[in-house]
Chains A and B, each alone.
Chain A
Amino acid sequence: MNDPLSAANAAGLPSELPDEPTTPPRSQWRDIWRQFRNHHGAMIALVLFVSILLFVLIGPLLWTIEPTYVDIRARNQGFSWAHPLGTDQLGRDMLARLMAGGRVSLAVGLTAMSIALTLGSLIGILSGYFRGLDAPLMRLTELFLALPLLPLLLLMVTLFREPLGKALGPAGGIFLLIVSAIGVTSWMQTARIVRGEVLGLKEREFMLAAKSIGTPIHRMVLRHVLPNVLSPIMVAATLGIATAIITESALSFLGLGFPPDFPTWGRLLYDAVDQMQQFPWRVVLPGLCISLTVLSVNYIGDGLRDAMDPRIRGR
């Protein structure tokens, strides 16, 4: 019952033990999970990431203060039972704002990252694997690398904000616009890295072996190439989430992002910078949220890469 995937990976190893009929079936993902659990940093990061997710997803159901409700009498308050994380300069509850902001920031980060990753891996593999596509696709990548991000985003927002806003509501429209804008403008590094890896892989013996037994192209790519380039993709993904969250806050700051009454972590951070000296917590809290998310995603990526690398696994 061996998964063909692990067989493919194992093809890179010097020898493969024949399956004992008495041993229970082993799936590759279970192996990865076992390996992953041994990575202490990654496990802590996973727990942290899941708790951040729970905080922003379940939190608003338990803490029901509106994040945009202005209570002017309660402005600039410190930590209290009524407002566990204090209030901002207009008396809006910081806890509620952090939860609402986290939803948006995480959604933007994850979605934009998956768009960038899908595009980047696709283009990277295509251009690495198919010699004929290499030159045009790499020139396209260079073209995108040369595009200045902000003017391009400005143009996209100007052109598409209103029609999208009308179709999906102001927040939905701008969400789609921002994630696609960030996704479409940040896939190039992934594509470059993946292409390089694929070019190296193509010359390996196991690829030659697979080709010699007549493996069709789609199987070559899905079963042999993709699993072997997963680790650089994972690293790119973790970095991508961080960049997407930061880019979103930069956009909001320029007035191109979400409407101003729509809290995101980046916006909370920027709004608080003016009064950093009097109310340092207002800067620290959203900053901490962004850093912890980015850090935990990085560690998870690190753990995954180690767990998925057949050369490290089992050591």
Chain B
Amino acid sequence: MRLKFLMLGAASAALMAPVAHAERGSDGQLNIIMWQAPSTMNIYLSGGTKELIASSAVLEPLAGSMPDGTLFPRLASEIPTLENGGIAEDLKSVTWKLREGVKWSDGTPFTADDVVFSAQYCMDPTGGCAQLAKFEGVEKVEAVDPLTVKISFAAPQPDPYSAFVGSQAPVIQKAQFEACIGEKAPTCTEQNFGPIGTGPFKVTSFKTNDVITFEANPEYRDASKPAFASLTMKGGGDAAAAARSVLETGEFDYAWNTQLAPDVISGMEAAGKGKVQAAFGSLVERIHVNLTNASSDLPEGERSTTAHPHPFLTDIAVRKALSMAIDRALLVEIGYGPAGQPTCNYVPAPAAWASDNTDCLQQDIEGAKKLLDEAGWTVGGDGIREKDGQRLSLLYQTSVNAVRQDFQALIKQWWQEIGVETELKTVDASVFFGGDAGSPDTFQKFYADVEMYANNFEGGNPAPYLAKFTCDKAPGPDNQWQGENVSRYCDPEFDKLVAQMATIVDPAERGKLGQKLNEMLTKESYAIIPLVYRGTASAVSNTLGNVQINGWDSELWNVADWTRTAQ
């Protein structure tokens, strides 16, 4: 009886603990190390993730994304939908209701005019706004009343959650930035380095590419938050030093972007001062299979074009066998550790869009051999399979990167085991991703048989990302080798479904169609062989509470909730 009583007491104490929350500023100082230091606090003037993180402590958008990719209102009082009338029936406008009683850190009220001004600021054609893509298709933004903003689009938008959604497109104060619009934007140093915001912190000093200090915003809408009185963001060093300062020495509480080899990380974590957490967005490392012939025997301008189908990769049995021979779990273990997961999906998230396709996760060398045998590819004298004089010999290219070269070596050996010969090639990343139509080594030109890289999409809407694989988006001489359908995948059925996507609004239905498109690219055609779902790793001290790492928004999206916990 007594034991039971004690346990009940303990349980109720545990339940009580989170309720007794901290007061504003009660937890003292928070130290964050950003080894690539932020160069400005104004995210509209920089597309970088480091600036995004810094500015998100101060500036807020109307709505943000949770770690699972769903939206939640920040400066808005609710997320507009078709049901609550926020999204117009013709899909050509969206109306945001603003939260009442929000104040800027200088004490003035936040109104719809500020939102309208922020849109003008970014959409000014002479301003060179780095986040202009967020405002694509926006025709005008107008204030209906001080707490209502209407955004109108030029064409129907099935997914209107782009402008002012996510920390990339926050609201800036009209009074402060009024004189900084257009060409004058970069010259307003004082404003860009110390924007007045509605977020949990305000800037006290900013040294570009060095140190930023913040203090708690006295006007923040939740009187008990943030728990930290001040915040220092320090730059400098490299990923390893940053991780060490959190995990081994404990000088800092949080280190951003600590992408290191798994055994290096686990060595540091052994000190017991912190853990590495990974934010999973939509980044997938994958192999693209070239369905066209890249042979250098073809004249320039015809290599890797749809005019010449690939001599053997057009056989789906070969593509499937290549995928079956790969042990994805081992790739994750070698290359990414906790910052990676094996995947068979091209779109791994959000949950509604991710297919439950898991049959590639198990490596099956014997199955791959059998599949090739059945397809008529017989093992020749040198251990390489051939059919009608065509040898299964591949050129496998990727960018220069230690992890990718390890992957190449491993995959080459697995393919060797099933009788496929592989020649490896690496290209400097700036050339590979440079997109220069004159260079033969870009990933779009794809003068190889298979290539490996990673890509993701912005925000929570994968539809444009999937739409990249329609027939007309195959890179070729007619479009200066632009376009991301690098596999040269072409299926009229796929194109039809992509067109259908543009007319659907219901999120569940969109997700279902997205899953179908995803499966068509992966397990039905093996035009794309997904390998690893990658996250961005950050090191978090064990003394920090409520850190929820987020791959869809800034990592400091909930910094207002962070607390100091007793170690």
Which residues from chain A sit less than 8 Å from chain B, CB to CB?
A: 68-70, 72, 75-76, 89-90, 92, 154, 158, 162-163, 166, 170, 253-256, 259-261, 271, 274-275, 277-278
**B425 surroundings in chain A (CB, below 8 A):** 170, 259
5 extra A-B contacts, CB within 8 A, seeds A162-B296, A260-B424: A89-B406, A255-B399, A261-B412, A275-B261, A278-B264
Q: Which of A68, A70, A260, A275 has the most CB of B within 10 A?
A: A260
- Across the interface, A89 reaches (CB within 8 A) one of B261, B423, B441, namely B261
Q: Does B427 contact A (CB under 8 A)?
A: yes
A89 and B407 alpha carbons, distance in the complex (Å): 11
| CB–CB B264/A274 < 8 A | yes
**21 A–B pairs (Cβ distance < 8 Å), ordered by A:** A72-B410, A76-B263, A89-B263, A89-B406, A90-B334, A90-B409, A92-B409, A154-B431, A158-B441, A253-B400, A254-B400, A255-B427, A255-B428, A259-B423, A260-B409, A261-B409, A261-B412, A271-B402, A275-B261, A278-B264, A278-B267
- Across the interface, B408 reaches (CB within 8 A) one of A72, A75, A154, A260, namely A260
A162 and B395 alpha carbons, distance in the complex (Å): 12
| CB–CB B409/A68 < 8 A | yes
In the complex, per-residue mask of B253-273: 1 if CB is within 8 Å of any chain A CB, else 0? 000000011011001000000
A162 and B445 alpha carbons, distance in the complex (Å): 15
Q: How many A-B residue pairs have CB under 8 A?
A: 66
Given A72-B330, A158-B440, A162-B296: A274 and B410 interface contact (C-beta under 8 Å): no
Would you give the shortest CB distance from B418 to chain A, in whole angstroms?
Answer: 15
- Across the interface, B261 reaches (CB within 8 A) one of A69, A254, A274, namely A274
**A277 surroundings in chain B (CB, below 8 A):** 264, 267
A154 and B260 alpha carbons, distance in the complex (Å): 29
In the complex, per-residue mask of B397-420: 1 if CB is within 8 Å of any chain A CB, else 0? 001101001101110110000000
Would you give the shortest CB distance from A267 to chain B, in whole angstroms?
Answer: 9
A75 and B413 alpha carbons, distance in the complex (Å): 15
| CB–CB B424/A261 < 8 A | yes
**B399 surroundings in chain A (CB, below 8 A):** 255
| CB–CB A275/B263 < 8 A | yes
Q: Does B390 contact A (CB under 8 A)?
A: no
| CB–CB B410/A260 < 8 A | no
**A72 surroundings in chain B (CB, below 8 A):** 330, 334, 410
Chain B interface residue number, banded = 20 to 34
Would you give the shortest CB distance from B398 to chain A, in whole angstroms?
Answer: 9
**B405 surroundings in chain A (CB, below 8 A):** 260, 271
Given A68-B409, A89-B406: A255 and B267 interface contact (C-beta under 8 Å): no
A76 and B330 alpha carbons, distance in the complex (Å): 15
| CB–CB A170/B410 < 8 A | no
9 nearest A-B residue pairs (beta carbon): A255-B400, A255-B426, A260-B405, A70-B413, A255-B428, A259-B424, A261-B424, A162-B296, A260-B426
| CB–CB B400/A89 < 8 A | no
Q: Does B439 contact A (CB under 8 A)?
A: yes
- Across the interface, A254 reaches (CB within 8 A) one of B330, B406, B408, B428, namely B428
| CB–CB B423/A170 < 8 A | yes
Would you give the shortest CB distance from B160 to chain A, in whole angstroms?
Answer: 42
**B263 surroundings in chain A (CB, below 8 A):** 76, 89, 275, 278
**B431 surroundings in chain A (CB, below 8 A):** 154
**B439 surroundings in chain A (CB, below 8 A):** 158
A252 and B115 alpha carbons, distance in the complex (Å): 51
Would you give the shortest CB distance from A101 to chain B, in whole angstroms?
Answer: 14
A313 and B399 alpha carbons, distance in the complex (Å): 55
Would you give the shortest CB distance from A40 to chain B, in whole angstroms?
Answer: 42
**A271 surroundings in chain B (CB, below 8 A):** 402, 405
In the complex, per-residue mask of B16-54: 1 if CB is within 8 Å of any chain A CB, else 0? 000000000000000000000000000000000000000
The residues in B between 378 and 402 inclusive whose CB is less than 8 angstroms from any CB of A are: 399-400, 402
| CB–CB B424/A166 < 8 A | no
**A278 surroundings in chain B (CB, below 8 A):** 263-264, 267
**B409 surroundings in chain A (CB, below 8 A):** 68, 70, 90, 92, 260-261
A237 and B303 alpha carbons, distance in the complex (Å): 43
**B408 surroundings in chain A (CB, below 8 A):** 260-261
A76 and B262 alpha carbons, distance in the complex (Å): 13
A17 and B406 alpha carbons, distance in the complex (Å): 68
Closest B residue to A170 using CB positions: B423
The residues in B between 28 and 86 inclusive whose CB is less than 8 angstroms from any CB of A are: none
The residues in B between 428 and 468 inclusive whose CB is less than 8 angstroms from any CB of A are: 428, 431, 439-441, 447
